[in-house]
Structure 1
Amino acid sequence: MGSRVKWAALAAGVVVICAAAFGIKSLVASTPDTGAVAAIDTFAEAWSRQDAATAARYTTAPQQASDALAQTFQAMNAKAVDVTVEKPVEYSDGTASFYLKTTWHFDKDRSFTSTSSGTARHLSAGWRVTWEPSVVYPGMPAGGNLREIRTEATPAPIVRSRSGKTFMYLQPVNEIVLDPAQTRDLPASARSLADSISPIAPLVTAAVINQKLAASQGKPITAVTLRNSDMEVLTTDPGRVPGVTVRKTGMLVMADRRLSSPLEPGLTNYWQAIRDATAGWQVQLVGPGLAPQRLEGEQGPAGPNVQTTIDQGVQLTLGDAAVEVGQPATIVALDANTGGILGMAQNSYAVDRGIGIDAAYPVGTTLDPVFAAVDRIAHDGQQNADAALDRLGLGVQFSIPGASAPSVGQPGAATIDFRPQNATMSMSNMAALGVALARSASGTRSSVAPFVIQGVPTKISGGELGDLDPALTTPVWQAMTTTAKTGDASDLTKAAGLRALVGTNGPEGPGWFVGVQGGKVIVIYTEGPKSGTAALQVAQKYFTIR
């Protein structure tokens, strides 16, 4: 859709009527363009290219015009602009008049068209468009501009737990932003900001702020995001610190402030996709001291709420269990029958490591009983073994809407070559395995993918789930029973009926725990020295407080 300028044309053979009494002559006669035509044409062409500086040079007030046009071009953010000059008329007193029909083109085939009028004058430097803000849009005040904005459907969707309670919702927040370019003494600003927010965010120290600044390479950083209620706790205004601004916005946050979960990014991404799909648009006329005036736009209905499988009580318990150890620990719980994720939590060490549900990690000895069972049934070679592993959820890759967070490249895929020391699995693989074994033991001999949003299926790649052979699952289930009764998990208390797989990838880990108990599947992943013991500590904490 190229930008262009059009002159309204008259049919051939138009008779030009001289009106000397009025001092008027038409600019659209068959004679060559005059200086007024050229100036207006150049002004319109530059506008169509969104070249504020060039357009402004052909006005009577270049600096004012440049500022005003640049402001509108930036605020409209149009893909293209079509400008049509209509009814240009030159007068014998050295003035001219014209109309501009301007069409702004945006994404998704949206457009806004307006018609404005203007005049031109012949000055010593030549013909120039008389600068008035109304040339851009009728009635535009000095200092005003047009803008195109996104509008949001209301009310915003709510992320609900399995019981229907609000789990996450949109709330006003305050982003505390420090811009290195806006302070003369950056270290002093970092210290002052840390002191200001310490009553509510004591962990965001000057050292933490300086680390963020170093990583940003001179760009503004968000030191912390605070709810309105948090701001009321502060004794000093962080916005008074040199270089700091408080930017008000909205954010999807936990309804229960005690909760935090690595599921938050995935749920937020899904929620944001709904917001994006239901967003509208609006072109407004704005000016100093004036309420924005709507000129054009469209807004559809609000999107649906997000119904999840999360159990808020389970989520709280998982959070308490994850902080039991002083090394990276992540724990996820699933419904043993449906595969619905009931909650997921991790401690700060795991957060710092960026451990997620998608990434694949070494399993070490954890799956030895599984590999042994697969070996026994794989009479026809590697292909049957691969199919058996796929059906257990181990040889496939999951992308779980609401749980899988976008990352650079693809998430780590499971790899298996029947040498346990080389096998890697994601937490979602291990979760699918636990659910498959639990379903098989209960008589439902088919596997299902983990999921967290009701009615939204998980994408499976690299293989297929399906029917489970008792010859495969029964020996594994028996091994899990032995592990819980007399093996590595036998010291766990308050875990009646537990079946478990426990293992490590050597002294430095990682360590795994995959347990089935009380209608739930529990998967724990830990890293660091004695990570197998750490996984059992987290499990014991879970069973003690659940």
Structure 2
Amino acid sequence: MTRRCLSTLLLCALLLGSAGCSLFGGKGPQDAFAAFADAVQRKDAGAAAADTSDPNAAAPVITWMFDGMGKNATLTVQSAEAGDDENRATLTYTWTFGPDKSLRYDVNATATQQGDDWRVQWTPTVLHPDLAPGKTFQYSDDKNYLTPVTDRDGQPLMSWQTVGVVTLTRANLASAAQLAPLLQQFAPTITDATIAEQFAGTQDDAVTVVRLRKTDLDVVRDQLAQIPGVTVAEQGALLTDNRDLSSPAIAGLQEIWQQRIDAAAGWSVMLVDEEGRPTDQLASTPPRDTPPVRTTLDLRMQLLAQQAVATEPRPAVIVAISPGTGGILVAAQNAAANAQGPIAFSGSYPPGSTFKTITTAAALEAGIATPDSPQACPGRVTVENRTIPNDDEFDLGTVPLTTAFAKSCNTTMAVLSDELPADALPKMAKLFGIGVDYVVPGLTTITGTVPNADTPAQKVENGIGQGTVTVSPFGLAVAEASLGHGSTITPTLVVDEKTTADTQSQPIPPTVVDSLRAMMTQTVADGTATALRDVPGLGGKTGTAEFGDNTSSHGWFAGIVGDIAFATLVVGGDTSTPAVTITGDFLRPAVAG
């Protein structure tokens, strides 16, 4: 062995008791710092604690740090020797919570030898200089939850409110008999049987029975506290300001609201005590100003429409759109309709005679008729073995097209449809927005389907809104709004949220627009909708559409008054009369106001 090696061994022997020696692979102080930094960076609380002088004390504190900073936070920890003392190191922590959300700080750490190994001397300050016993970290996304959702005039529709989450434990299921009657004043459908069904559908030890508005919770809070197994937790939720407000147009607004406040969110990192109270602020960026989420809905008209459909026991819907802006003003469904889903926007039904607006527009554009041209309106007509009757087979003889439209002559429209090309109705329908696929932020919608008619029988069926033609209430309202606007509209729900479409907007020929508007006015003045003659400026078209085994019919009424284009549907209404009645109940106060 060389003299140099002997000297090195002697030096190691002399220093072994103080600084340690890594000649034979032993772990030195800086190795301990590096191992601790690596384990913390990997978020391995157990390994990090094992690299300290007191793993039992360190493990929960390190775990609480990771929990408080959130699972989405990323962390890098770098270790560097502090000056000339290899028993000391500077640990640099860099937390990243997202773009432009970083927290960087340094801590001083000391190494201590335990037997043959070196460990980081445990103290909470190796995680942060200000961390002390009884404190932990808390990261928060600071959002402007008070951002409201408003109607087009700035009236509040939805806001952040306190709700009480009422839960019941499985062990106290018998308490359902006492709980249900207490809650029925706010949620009439709750019974002890429905609560039992909730437990039958899950293995959970407790279920959420209902969420109560704070004003409702305050009424029953003390009584709930006396029921065994019932607990109430208060939390925030985005709710309608008016408890009576209910619309399928509202369901998607929370997602847009959430996106808005998330995009403007600030953030903060605090040290908090055992009660969660802040003690030290480590970083803070306030949220940016978040303007209200302004919709195109009209709160007053929406509530009027809800009142109108509520009087009908069968599923009933009103959708109204502004021809001027394309903004959706109203989407109202009664309880029977709600049970079938958001049918205002995604229901698919034959439009019946309301589709004669499209058929007439196609005939006018093709030049096979004019508003004044004489048209036969017999009680029934047969085209390629398909016999089309008028309602109760009324016979007007030969009348101007305007009269045939206003009186809803099926036979007239059947003959005109047979004279049109196979693609005439699909093309004209798309010009009015029916068959266009819109992507409206906040909504899932369909407008309808109008296929080519390859046979005369299909042509006459489609021409009177039967056969293979379907629309949604939304799609028919889009058609009326497009007529009112003079070109295919782009429907919207939220201001500044862009709607896209698979078909470019096109102008409707002005002569077609003027002729149809006059015919619709005549329908109200002296046709099938005379019950609404008292609504100034109203023009519309009634419709009855057979479905199923052709023994039942849907009832429709669609039209335009001022800057309101609308479609009203009563599912299984048998005639258009219920739809006309509901429309009148809605429009009279809406127009008067």
Residues 49/192 of structure 1: CA separation in 2 closer, same or farther (3 Å cut): farther
* 2:52 alignment counterpart: 59
Task: State the SS of the aligned residue for 2:139.
Answer: strand
Secondary structure at the counterpart of residue 43 of structure 1: helix
Corresponding position of 1:106? 97
**Aligned amino acid, residue 71 of structure 1:** W
Q: 1:492 to 1:417 in 2, by over 3 A?
A: same
Q: Which of these two proteins has the greater Rg computed from alpha carbons?
A: 2
* Partner of residue 526 from structure 1, selected from 550, 570, 587: 570
1:199 to partner: Cα distance: 4.4
Alignment of 1:312 onto 2:299: yes
CA deviations 1:360-418 (Å, max 9, x no partner) are 512241443134235433599566654432221213123334xx33x6xxx44532115
The aligned runs of 1:64-79 (5 Å cut-off) are 64-77=57-70, 78-79=72-73
Which residue of structure 2 aligns with residue 263 of structure 1? Answer: 249
Match of 1:464 in 2: 504
Query: Structure 1 residues 388, 530: closer, same or farther in 2, change over 3 A?
Result: closer
Q: Is the 8 A contact 1:392 1:465 kept in 2?
A: no
Q: Structure 1 residues 307 and 371 mapped into 2: Cα distance closer, same or farther (>3 Å)?
A: closer
C-alpha displacement of 1:223: 3.5
- Read off the aligned partner of 1:415 and give its amino acid letter: T
Q: Tell me whether 1:172 sits opposite 2:161 in the alignment.
A: yes
Deviations 1:63-96 (A, max 9, x none): 443322222212212442111122279999xxx5
Instruction: Provide the residue aligned with 1:159 in structure 2.
Output: 149
Change in CA separation of 1:297 and 1:510 when aligned onto 2, cut-off 3 Å: farther
What letter corresponds to residue 316 of structure 1 in structure 2? L
CA contact (8 A) 1:24 1:89 kept: no
How far apart, CA to CA, are the structure 2 residues paired with 1:287 and 1:475? Answer: 75
Task: Please name the residue that 1:122 is paired with.
Answer: 113
Paired with 1:208 and 1:370, the residues of 2 have a C-alpha distance of 47
Secondary structure of residue in 2 paired with 1:157: coil
3-state secondary structure, aligned to 1:139: coil
Corresponding position: 1:400 with 2:404? no
Aligned residue pairs: how many? 508
Name the counterpart of 2:448: 414
The one-letter amino acid of 1:504's match is: A
Note the C-alpha offset of 1:191.
4.5
**Which sections of structure 2, spanning at least 5 residues, go unmatched?**
1-10, 368-419, 453-461
Matched, 1:535 2:526: no
Instruction: For residue 393 of structure 1, give the secondary structure of its aligned residue in structure 2.
Output: coil
Matches within 5 A, 1:306-385: 306-373=293-360, 375-376=362-363, 377=365
Comparing 530-539 with 414-423, greater Cα deviation is found at: 530-539
Task: Give yes or no for contact 1:157–1:302 (8 Å, CA) kept in 2.
Answer: no
Q: How many angstroms does 1:493 deviate by?
A: 6.6
- Amino acid aligned to 2:428: A
CA distance in 2, matches of 1:281, 1:472: 57
% of aligned pairs identical?
27
The range that moved more, 213-222 or 456-465, is 213-222
Paired with 1:99 and 1:248, the residues of 2 have a C-alpha distance of: 44
Is 1:434 the equivalent of 2:423?
no
* 1:208 to partner: Cα distance: 4.1
Change (3 A) 1:285 1:459: same
**1:451 is aligned to 2:488:** no
| Residue of 292, 296, 313 corresponding to 2:283 | 296
- TM-score between the two structures when normalised by the length of structure 2: 0.73
Report the Cα offset of residue 467 of structure 1.
1.1
Q: Does the 8 A contact of 1:360 with 1:424 survive in 2? A: no
Counterpart check, 1:205 vs 2:251: no
1:428 and 1:450 in contact (8 A); partners too: no
SS, match of residue 500 in structure 2: strand
The change in CA–CA distance for 1:493 and 1:61 in structure 2 (over 3 A counts) is: farther
Flag the 1:263–1:432 CA change in 2: closer, same or farther, 3 A: same
Distance, in Å, in 2 between the alignment partners of 1:345 and 1:196 is: 30
Distance of aligned partners of 1:368 and 1:160 in 2 relative to their CA distance in 1, 3 Å threshold: closer
Structure 1, residues 159-186: CA drift from partner, whole Å, max 9, x if none? 333444x32353431241537xxx3425
Aligned-partner Cα distance in 2 for 1:132–1:193: 51
Cα gap change, 1:372 to 1:201, in 2 (>3 Å): closer
Change (3 A) 1:355 1:279: same
Out of 245, 256, 264, the position equivalent to 1:278 is: 264
Per-residue deviation, residues 185-241 of structure 1 (Å, max 9, x unmatched): 253354454345344444443444455555666497543333332222115354675
Q: CA deviation at 1:519?
A: 4.4
Q: CA–CA distance in 2 between the matches of 1:267 and 1:519?
A: 24
State the SS of the aligned residue for 1:327: coil
Q: Which amino acid aligns with 1:524?
A: T
Q: Report what 1:148 is aligned to.
A: 139
> Which residue of 1 is the match for residue 535 of structure 2?
495
1:228/1:132 Cα in 2 relative to 1: closer, same or farther (>3 Å)?
A: same
Q: 1:98 to 1:292 in 2, by over 3 A?
A: same
Matched residue, 1:11: none
Whether the 8 Å contact between 1:322 and 1:538 is mirrored in structure 2 is yes
| Distance (whole Å) between structure 2 residues aligned to residue 217 and residue 526 of structure 1 | 41
- In terms of mean alpha carbon deviation, does 44-53 or 305-314 score higher? 305-314
AA partner of residue 435 (structure 1): A
Residues of 1 paired with 2:512 and 2:576: CA distance? 26
Closer/same/farther in 2, CA of residues 40 and 163 from structure 1, 3 Å limit: closer
Distance (Å, rounded) in 2 between the aligned partners of 1:276 and 1:366: 47
